[in-house]
Amino acid sequence: CKAEIEIPEGRYAGTRGERPDIEPIINLGSKCGLDDPEAVLYLYNLAGTLGLDVISLGGVLAFAMELTQRGILTGEDSDGIDLTWGNAEAMEAMTVRIARREGLGAVLAEGTRRAAEIIGRGAAAYAHHSKGMELTGYDPRGLMGSALGYAVSTRGGDFTSVYAAPEYRWTPEEGRAWFGTPAAVDRLDTEGKGALVRRSMLVSAAIDALGLCKVPLLSVVGDFSLENEAALVSALTSREWSAGDLLRAGERTVVLERLYNLRHGASRADDDLPDRFVEERVTSPGPTQGMTVDIQPMVADFYAAMGWDEEGRPTAETLERLGIEAGGLGDVGWPKSH
Query: How far does Cα 321 stand from its chain's mean position?
Result: 29
Q: What pLDDT band is residue 327 in, cutting at 50, 70 and 90?
A: low
Give the Cβ contact number of residue 147 at 10 Å.
30
pLDDT tens sequence across 134-192: 999 889 999 999 999 999 999 999 878 898 999 999 999 999 999 999 999 999 999 99
Q: Is residue 216 over pLDDT 80?
A: yes
Mean pLDDT of the chain: 94
Q: The whole model's pTM is what? A: 0.92
329 pLDDT exceeds 80?
Answer: no
Angle of helix 54-69 relative to helix 37-50, nearest 10 degrees, comes to 120
The DSSP line for 276-310 is HHHHSPP-SSSTTTT----HHHHHHHHHHHHTB-T
| pLDDT-above-90 percentage for the chain | 90
Q: Please state, in angstroms and rounded to a whole number, the distance separating the CA atoms of residues 73 and 67.
A: 5
H/E element, 116: helix 112-119
pLDDT of residue 334: 46
pLDDT, tens digit, for every residue of 237-260?
989 999 999 999 999 999 999 999
Distance CA 280, CA 257 (A): 32
Tell me: the pLDDT tens digits for 113-140?
Answer: 999 999 999 999 999 999 999 999 889 9
Confidence (pLDDT) at 326: 66
61-109 pLDDT, tens per residue?
A: 999 999 999 999 999 999 999 999 999 999 999 999 999 999 999 999 9
Pairing of strands 16-18, 133-134: unpaired
C-alpha 329/C-alpha 314 separation (Å) is 10
pLDDT exceeds cutoff 70 at 338: no
Write the DSSP assignment of 151-208 as a string of letters.
Answer: HH-SSSS-STTT--THHHHS-HHHHHHHHSSGGGG-TT--TTHHHHHHHHHHHHHHHH
| Helix, strand, coil percent content, the chain, rounded in steps of 5 | 55, 5, 40
The one-character DSSP state at 239 is S
Query: Helix, strand, or coil here: 54?
Result: helix
